[in-house]
Structure 1
Amino acid sequence: MQALTIVGCPDLRLVGLTSKNSPRNHLSINRCNASFISDLKIYAPRQSPNTDGVDISESSHVVLENSHIQTGDDCIAVNTGSSFINITGVICGPGHGISIGSLGRDGAYDTVEEVHVRNCTFIKTDNGVRIKTWKGGSGYARNITYKDIIVEDVRYPLIIDQEYVDHHRSNFISLKRKNSSSSSAVALSHITYRNVTGTSSSEDAIKLICDEKVGCTNIVLESINIAPSNGGELHAKCQNAHGTFTSSTPSVSCLD
């Protein structure tokens, strides 16, 4: 049960909401175009599954800004049918970061475009900025930018995962589809990461794991400066990811 679900509310204005320990998602926004959401305070324990802070779906021209979100799942999840989503000035942590998806579950055709995440901080999260899709789905996620991002002791600061599995969801069909060979996948393109700084708690600070047959195209990384939070050496890991990088630490030489 979500704490608050808002459906079909154009020109929504939601300011100053506080939500604590929701049994599931704290705030779900569906079919709410031209929405302005600000100054949220959302709290849930680190180990609480499926307690997303804000879920956005089937909505366009949404501004979400100046909020503090602590959850056991995604701080913000942008789901299918969403476009022109602007997320600014959000502090996330703990939690699973700011995610696009998951998309393509159970073979679905899903679309997301024009998502812009700027001036956000991630503190001890599992992920920073993440795109996650299931095998066997279709559709696209495109024209996505992440700019002026700070990561503090984040496990995977930059991650694309096109082999996503929800381990809390016991659906044999979905797991079977994930592990099977499929000629379809959600196409990811025109994804830009610019000015990302901070620290990673794992060696794989950058993971771009794209579908083995469809791949990801037009990925751009500029001015990335991530250091290890616990010593050691950081790496970038790529699979079928295509694009360019300039001034990146760690180097993303695996990007072709």
Structure 2
Amino acid sequence: MCVFCLIHYRRVFSTVYFFYIHACTYVTSFVITVKAFLRAWDDLCGATGGRPTLVIPHGKEFLLSPLSFKGPCKSKNLWIQLQGTLVAPGSMNAWDDNNKEKWIQFMQVNGLTIYGGGQIDGQGKIWWDYCQALSFHSCNNLRVSGLQHVNSQKNHISINGCNDVDISHLKITAPEESPNTDGIDISASNHLQIHDSFIGTGDDCVAINGFSSYINISRVLCGPGHGISIGSLGKGGAYETVEEVHVEDCTFKGTMNGARIKTWKGGRGYARKISFERIRMINAGNPIIIDQTYVNRMAAASRDVEISDVSYKGVIGSSTDARAVYFNCGDGAGCRNIVVEDVEMTSAVAGKQLFAVCNNAHGTSSADRSPRVPCLLP
């Protein structure tokens, strides 16, 4: 791996500012790399007119230690055109212990668009369980599109405390056995659109955590991985909420789970107004699952995160598990207003019959579909 010495400069075409980072010579330390990116960011963030754009050129690799791009910025619209490749250090000695939680971080930057067909390479295995590859904190009006993310250290993309986010046309990959490599991890964020993307990792393709709402996910191919998950919620008795999550026109291929909601026993709060519509399962495990005892370390607790108003409509395909529908709700109020309509699943194993298992789930279900869900029938 070569590390490039970088310089930055600007060109002005009409009212458009371009800040270029380009390779000039080889060096043995990537300190210069980080400083050059931060100098270019300072100019970009301080620009006031036109369409300020930072260009990271095609055909170049830039080795980066952890760095943060901080706002607020003067312009309400900033653009980063990533055409080259950003690469994490290949040695644990390259990072100090204080910088292992996040690799590339944007904080309090509004009106940011990142696009361009480039790649973000987290260098995978040595960093699994350590840090988030690309994270956004308190970034409103955020757009991310057209990028490739490979071998993240932990979460590929983390969205926290953001409002009005559109993520599209991404390719996110990590080995199936890689731990905690969520594709997109969302927390405390609202009004997100995730669409037209491929996500195949070792954990959740999309994870939606507490205090998030109005999340729309469409035309996503998920697999391998652990499916699209609400939660987990209520860890250690915590109060957390998720609502207005809608997943449609998505495919799960070879995933450990499909459409999943998971909460801890003893948690507080709610998950409600959630829908999965026009979903295709291809050899997926646990295609439809609600688990209110995801981790049952507070078995004596009588309370649960309340789950209600959840619908599964038009879910078709094949299941690797005979138990294709599993509603494992708590002993208290259970799960309320669960709707299962037009679900038509077959077994991935020839001749095996599918079935549903319910515990304290209440709602309605189509009577003539497979598998039948007796607990929800009138």
**TM bracket (short chain):** over 0.9
Structure with larger Rg: 2
* Number of corresponding residues: 245
Of 16-25 and 84-93, deviating more is 16-25
| Residue 303 of structure 2 is aligned to residue 184 of structure 1 | yes
Question: Residues 221 and 248 of structure 1 are in contact (CA less than 8 Å); yes or no, is this contact kept in structure 2?
Answer: no
Residue 37 (structure 2) aligns with: none
Residue 336 (structure 2) aligns with: 217
Higher strand share: 1
SS at match of 2:297: helix
SS at match of 1:156: coil
For residues 365 and 158 of structure 2, the distance between their equivalents in structure 1, rounded to whole angstroms, comes to: 35
Residue 269 (structure 2) aligns with: 139
For residues 24 and 39 of structure 1, the distance between their equivalents in structure 2, rounded to whole angstroms, comes to: 21
Could you report, residue by residue, the CA deviation over 1:126-145 in whole angstroms, capped at 9, with x for unpaired residues? 11100000001000000001
Identity %, equivalent residues? 52
For residues 313 and 160 of structure 2, the distance between their equivalents in structure 1, rounded to whole angstroms, comes to: 29
SS at match of 1:47: coil
Q: How does 1:49-64 map to 2 (within 5 A)?
A: 49-64=179-194
Q: How does 1:102-181 map to 2 (within 5 A)?
A: 102-165=232-295, 176-177=297-298, 180-181=299-300
Residue 169 (structure 2) aligns with: 39
1:255 CA drift (Å)? 2.6
TM-score (norm 1): 0.94
1:155 CA drift (Å)? 1.1
Could you report, residue by residue, the CA deviation over 1:58-104 in whole angstroms, capped at 9, with x for unpaired residues? 11110000010011100000111111100000000000000000000
1:254 CA drift (Å)? 2.4
1:16 CA drift (Å)? 1.2
Residue 81 (structure 1) aligns with: 211
Question: Counterpart of 1:57 in structure 2: which amino acid?
Answer: S
Residue 18 (structure 1) aligns with: 148
Question: Residues 302 and 331 of structure 2 are in contact (CA less than 8 Å); yes or no, is this contact kept in structure 1?
Answer: no
If asked which structure has higher relative contact order (CA below 8 Å, sep 6+), I would say 1
Question: Counterpart of 2:376 in structure 1: which amino acid?
Answer: L
For residues 112 and 253 of structure 1, the distance between their equivalents in structure 2, rounded to whole angstroms, comes to: 28
Stretches of 4+ aligned residues off by more than 2 angstroms = none
Q: How does 1:197-212 map to 2 (within 5 A)?
A: 197-212=316-331
Q: What is the alpha-carbon root mean square deviation over aligned residues?
A: 0.9
Which one of 236, 240, 254 corresponds to residue 360 of structure 2?
Answer: 240
For residues 106 and 39 of structure 1, the distance between their equivalents in structure 2, rounded to whole angstroms, comes to: 36
| Residue 6 of structure 2 is aligned to residue 6 of structure 1 | no
Residue 195 (structure 1) aligns with: 314
SS at match of 2:229: strand
Question: Residues 265 and 297 of structure 2 are in contact (CA less than 8 Å); yes or no, is this contact kept in structure 1?
Answer: no
| Residue 347 of structure 2 is aligned to residue 228 of structure 1 | yes
SS at match of 1:254: helix
For residues 162 and 44 of structure 1, the distance between their equivalents in structure 2, rounded to whole angstroms, comes to: 28
* Unpaired segments ≥5 residues, structure 1: 166-174
For residues 209 and 121 of structure 1, the distance between their equivalents in structure 2, rounded to whole angstroms, comes to: 24
SS at match of 1:248: coil
Residue 57 (structure 2) aligns with: none
1:181 CA drift (Å)? 1.3
Could you report, residue by residue, the CA deviation over 1:170-229 in whole angstroms, capped at 9, with x for unpaired residues? xxxxx632xx21111100000000000000001100001111112000000110000001
For residues 278 and 219 of structure 2, the distance between their equivalents in structure 1, rounded to whole angstroms, comes to: 10
Question: Residues 206 and 235 of structure 1 are in contact (CA less than 8 Å); yes or no, is this contact kept in structure 2?
Answer: yes
| Residue 159 of structure 2 is aligned to residue 29 of structure 1 | yes
Question: Residues 112 and 140 of structure 1 are in contact (CA less than 8 Å); yes or no, is this contact kept in structure 2?
Answer: yes
For residues 372 and 332 of structure 2, the distance between their equivalents in structure 1, rounded to whole angstroms, comes to: 25
For residues 148 and 338 of structure 2, the distance between their equivalents in structure 1, rounded to whole angstroms, comes to: 36
